[in-house]
Amino acid sequence: MHASRRFPFRAALALVAFGLVALSAPARAESPAVEEALATCTRCHDESEPHPVLSILHTPHAVVADPASPFAQDGCASCHGPSEQHQRRGRGPRAAPDVVFRADGPTPIAAQNAACLACHQGDERLHWQGSAHDLGEVGCVGCHDAHAIEDPMLDTHTQTEACVACHSTQRAELLRPSSHPLLEGKMACSDCHAPHGSSGPALLTQPTLNETCYTCHAELRGPFLWEHAPVREDCSLCHRPHGSVHPALLLSRGPWLCQQCHDAQFHPSTAYSGTGLPGETLPSGAQSLLGKNCMNCHSHVHGSNHPSGAGLTR
């Protein structure tokens, strides 16, 4: 009975002791083992390198309170491997570290990616394997700068520039008179694209192109009383997502835009110049068409909810 009365006290003591251990655990970077792991590398590598290495200590990778963080684990070696040969002094050139992160380095891209995926598999990387960037041999490091305090990919203002460094076609398209506000920093490529892979076409964030557009242009999702078939089918039948010389990101101007599909008997199907019309004067019937864009009358090209909107005119 005496013992059992003392038990809670002992248990409390044990709890306090355990708590102290638990509290100190997140600070493992200060523990001798990690200090040593760090020092093995920082003996030779520091901020004087062309690519300052110690800035990584100010990134989410060095949040030692997070047990999943590299610096709560093996420090530099969590990514670069123990690299014992590399640290050894010997004859001839120095052996490379176990994992060197660069496209033209000794480590194959797949092995570089594996080092990152060891911690970042799943979630948004679910579709990485076999994605356009995986197949195109773009490593994680082709986009991410793990040592930088500001990873350019994670900021809307810097991401666009980093993507178009490789995608020059899109760089040119963004400079056209009509474009989504990417260069203004109000949007990023990743608003439409899932850079790590997706189940949709062209790395789009949603399973279809239209679904991707609806995430922002929800008012066009419909359903409408009077649908316009191509709008339901594919916005890119009329729009270029990255930029166009025509207003509203259009593929071409009306009437040519519409006449891709409507070579109507009802309305003339050529661009209206007046030539070919009787006497080349302007009969009142044709006048209403001359020099006019289809959208002047068919103003509801995306669909209409008006009871008599069958012609998409209202």
Taking the C-alpha atoms of residue 21 and residue 26, their distance in angstroms, rounded to an integer, is 9
Residue ranges in the chain assigned as alpha helix (H):
2-24, 32-42, 77-80, 84-87, 109-120, 132-135, 140-143, 156-164, 168-174, 209-214, 229-233, 256-259, 284-287, 294-297
- Determine which residue in the list 34, 64, 109, 190 makes contact with ligand HEC, applying CB under 6 A: 190
Kind plus residue range of the DSSP H or E element containing 141: helix 140-143
**Per CB under 6 A, 306 contacts ligand HEC:** no
Where in 37-76 is the site for ligand HEC (CB under 6 A)? Answer: 38, 40-45, 49-51, 53, 56, 60-61, 66, 68-70, 73, 75-76
Beta bridge mates, 178: 244
Residue whose tokens read 């963080």: 69
**Per CB under 6 A, 260 contacts ligand HEC:** yes
- Determine which residue in the list 29, 160, 224, 303 makes contact with ligand HEC, applying CB under 6 A: 160
**Per CB under 6 A, 211 contacts ligand HEC:** no
Which range, of 5-13, 15-23, 278-286, 288-296, touches ligand HEC by CB under 6 A?
288-296
- Shortest separation between residue 13's beta carbon and ligand HEC, angstroms: 33
Residue ranges in 43-131 assigned as alpha helix (H):
77-80, 84-87, 109-120
- Determine which residue in the list 64, 257, 303, 304 makes contact with ligand HEC, applying CB under 6 A: 257
Site map 103..132 versus ligand HEC, x via CB under 6 A: --x-------x-xxxxxx--xxx--x---x
Decide if 284 contacts 205 (C-beta within 8 A): no
Which range, of 8-16, 19-27, 142-150, 277-285, touches ligand HEC by CB under 6 A?
142-150
Decide if 112 contacts 99 (C-beta within 8 A): yes
3-class state of residue 215 by DSSP: coil
Kind plus residue range of the DSSP H or E element containing 239: none
- Determine which residue in the list 29, 64, 109, 143 makes contact with ligand HEC, applying CB under 6 A: 143
**For residue 126, what are the contacts with CB-CB under 8 A and spacing of at least 6?**
196, 197
- Shortest separation between residue 2's beta carbon and ligand HEC, angstroms: 49
Comparing C-alpha atoms, which of 140, 137, 303 is closest to residue 226? 303
Which range, of 9-17, 23-31, 33-41, 275-283, touches ligand HEC by CB under 6 A?
33-41
Which range, of 18-26, 27-35, 99-107, 275-283, touches ligand HEC by CB under 6 A?
99-107
